[in-house]
Amino acid sequence: MARLTLRASGAACPETAWERYASVDQWASWSPQIKAVHSVGRRLRPGMSGTVESVAGVRVAFVVEAVDDDRRTWTWRVRLGRIQVQLHHEVRPQGDGATTSLTMYGPRLALLAYAPLARLALHRLVQP
């Protein structure tokens, strides 16, 4: 299993960036590969499950493993067929804005293939 960490910083305040994560209805506004999130709940919570639908029509199953609103961190596991990836997200204050990090664990080729889309999404997440 491989590990890959990505980071982005921007002028959005940490509370704004965190809310963009915590409300799944906002995911498509900053993550250009996401068309919709199908889940019972609309706010991140441990045990939440569903699917993320990409703009290409691919549906990826997910389960949220941990959420810490106070520390602005959350972890989830996504699965597409036999490929499974764990993603850990953090939002931290940085100057007048926020920095976010994503650490992914999974098959090396899957992480490298997803990294450009993830990098773009992270940069959009922390923009005002």
How, if at all, do strands 34-39 and 49-54 pair?
Answer: antiparallel
Question: 1, exposed or middle or buried, with CB in 10 Å at 0-12, 13-18, 19+?
Answer: exposed
Domains of the chain, residue spans: 2-125
pLDDT in tens, the chain (128 residues): 999 999 999 999 999 999 999 999 999 999 999 999 999 999 999 999 999 999 999 999 999 999 999 999 999 999 999 999 999 999 999 999 999 999 999 999 999 999 999 999 999 999 99
In angstroms, the CA 12 to CA 116 distance is 21
Provide the sign of the torsion angle of the four alpha carbons 27, 72, 80, 60, taken in this order.
Answer: negative
Q: For the domain 2-125, what is the CATH superfamily, name and number?
A: START domain (3.30.530.20)
pLDDT of residue 78: 98
pLDDT of residue 103: 98
Whether the CB-CB separation of 34 and 114 falls below 8 Å is answered with no
Token pair belonging to 103:
């650490």
In angstroms, the CA 96 to CA 113 distance is 32
pLDDT of residue 107: 98
In angstroms, the CA 126 to CA 62 distance is 23
Q: Give this prediction's pTM.
A: 0.96
